[in-house]
Amino acid sequence: MPGDVESILIAAIISWILFVSIDLLFGLPKTGGVSGAREIAGEIEREGGSLHGGYMMGNIVCSPDASAGTLLAACGVYIAGIPGGLAAAVLVYVGNRICYDRGYAGTTGALAATFLIYGFTTIGFSAAHFIAGMVIAILTIQGISHTHASRLLSRLWGWRT
């Protein structure tokens, strides 16, 4: 069983792959859902970033998507196991409806993350590792360098199409 720091890093990588793949699967980088997301994307492109990655970052800011689903599912599993994760999925769906979004990406992300994290808790990880890991994963997307993150997301979106 690895130590705490290694576990958090592994959990960060797993949740990064999980939420980026679900967001790409639901086509978040295709276009901005609301005008605010399009404005953020335009601003990132003006600073030298890429437009489709900017759309995805704007959509993450403007409505709870798979990343929010993963974080809240990790919180739910940490507090109450599988039922907590399902409650988190319901809450993410309600939050998506509040933010004028269809809510498929967030709910799917929360359900997938619930079962994935519960699976990992059986082999020695703790759900607290996944909470910290998810915060590190969202930091790498939104908080280090907008230009490089949008270029990376745009390249991944180019592979998918």
Partner 1 sequence: MEDITTQEIAILVCVSIGVISAVRVIAERNTMKKLPFLNVLSFAIAGSLALLLPDPLTILAAAAYFVGTTLESNAIASSYAGGPKNDE
Binding site for partner 1 (CB under 8 A): 4-5, 8, 34-40, 43-44, 47, 57-58, 60-64, 67-68, 71-72, 74-76, 78-80, 84, 87-88, 91-92, 94-95, 98-99, 126, 128-129, 131-132, 134-136, 138-139, 142-143, 146
Nearest distance from C-beta of residue 143 to partner 1, angstroms: 4
Cβ atoms of 117 and 10 within 8 Å: the answer is no
Q: Return the number of the residue (24 or 71) whose C-beta is nearest partner 1.
A: 71
Q: Counting Cβ atoms within 10 Å, is residue 104 exposed (0-12), middle (13-18) or buried (19+)? A: middle
Q: Return the number of the residue (143 or 159) whose C-beta is nearest partner 1.
A: 143
Say which DSSP state 31 is in. S
Q: How many CA atoms lie within 13 A of 110 on its CB side?
A: 28
Q: Return the number of the residue (24 or 40) whose C-beta is nearest partner 1.
A: 40
In the chain, % helix, strand, coil (3-state, to 5) comes to 80, 0, 20
Q: Return the number of the residue (17 or 94) whose C-beta is nearest partner 1.
A: 94
